[in-house]
Amino acid sequence: MKKAVFLLLLTGFLVAPLYLYAEEISESYVTTELAKVISIELQEERPVPGTDVRGLFQTLRAEILEGENAGAVVIVQNDYLKLNTGEKFYALHTVDTVTNTDTYAVSEPYRLDSLYFLLGLFVVAVFILGGKQGIRGLLALVISFCLIGYVLLPGILGGVSPLLVILGVTSLIVILGSYITHGFNRVTTSAVIGMVITLAITALLAHFSVIVSRLSGFVSDEAVYLNLNTGGTIDFSALLLGGILIGLLGVLYDAAIGQAVSVDEISHAAPEASRKELFSRAMRIGREHIGALVNTLAIAYVGVALPLLLLFYSVNSDSSILITLNREVFANEIVRMVVGSIGIMLAVPITTLVAVLRAERK
C-alpha cells in the first residue's frame, strides 16, 4: 500500500508540470492581418523538405496595415508566392505564449482590388450589352446567391437533409430567376415547369448513380475537415448529389428557356401546324442544342479537373487506365458529367412537350 501511494504521488509530481505546460501551449493563437511589403531582406531558392523540388524563399520587412498592430514593422517569412516591394498580402501572425515570441508568415496575396475591378467590369458589361434583360438577369443572380448563402448553407449545417434543402433551393432559383429575368408569361412558365420536372428526374438518377457507384463524397480535404467540424452529422453522399444538381442549373436554364422560346416562335410563324408537327420542328432545334451543350458541360468538367488529371497522369503513368478511373476522385467527376449531360438531354424534350401543350393553336 505504501508503495502504491508513493507511485501515485510520484506520477502526480511528474504529470502535473506536463499538464501545466500543455495548458500554456494551448493558449497560443493565430490571427490574420493585412500587411504591405516595405523591402525584401533576403530572396533565394531552397529545397522543399522531403522532395527534389527547389522553391523560392523570401524574408520580408513589412508594415501591418490594420488591426491592433497597425503601423508595426515586422519580419515576415515567405515560402508561398513571390512578393514585390509595395505589394499587399495577408500575414499569419502566430503568438507563442510559452516563449513569448511573435512570428509572421505569408498566408495569401491581397487579391480583393483585382476582384472588385473584375466584378465592376462584369456589371458594366451587363448594363451596356444586356440592357434591361441583363439587369434582370443580374438581379436574379444576386437572389440566387442569397438563397444559397442564407437558406441552403445554413440548412445543411443545421442538420436538414442536404438533398431536401438543395432540391428546394434549386427549384426556387429556377422559378424566381426565370420570372425575374423573362417576366410572367406563357413561355417562361413552360420553361419553369420543364426545368422543375427535369430536376426531379435528374435527382432520382443522381441518387441511384451515387448509390450504385458507392461514392462516399469524401474526395477532398475540405470534405474531411467539414465532417470533423460538424461531428459527422452531414450526409456527404447526399451533399454530392446536391452538388450535381446545382452544377446542372446554369446549363439546364439555358436549354429550357431556349426550347420554350423556339416553340413559341415556331408557333407564331406556323399557326396552322399541328402540335405533333410543332413538337417535331422544335426538337430539330433542340437536338442541335443538345450536341453543343453536352460538349460544353463535358469540357467544363475536364477544365475544372485538369490539375488532377495532370497529377495522376504524371504519377501513375505506368498504372492501368481502368484502375485510375476506378478511383473515387475520378468516378465522382464521371458521375457528375454523365448525370448532368443526361439531365440536359431530358430538359429538351420535356420542356418542348410542355411548351407545345401550352401553346395556343388555331
pLDDT, residue 90, reads: 92
Query: DSSP states of 181-201 as a string?
Result: HH-SSHHHHHHHHHHHHHHHH
Residue among 173, 157, 330, 145 nearest 248 (CA) = 173
pLDDT at 235: 76
Compute the distance between CA of residue 129 and CA of residue 232 in angstroms, rounded to an integer: 47
Beta-sheet pairing, 54-64 with 88-96: unpaired
**Which residues of the chain, if any, have pLDDT below 50?**
1-26
C-alpha cell at 98: 510559452
**Amino acid in position 104:** Y
CATH class of 27-110: mainly beta
Q: Identify the three-state secondary structure at position 90.
A: strand
CATH class of 158-358: mainly alpha
Q: Are 241 and 284 in contact (CB under 8 A)?
A: no
Taking only the tens place, the pLDDT of each residue in 51-98 is 777 888 989 999 999 888 888 899 999 888 888 999 999 998 888 777
In this prediction, residue 117 carries a pLDDT of: 95
Say if CB 165 and CB 150 are below 8 A apart: no
Beta bridge partners of 45: 56
Q: Locate the domains of the chain by residue range.
A: 27-110, 158-358
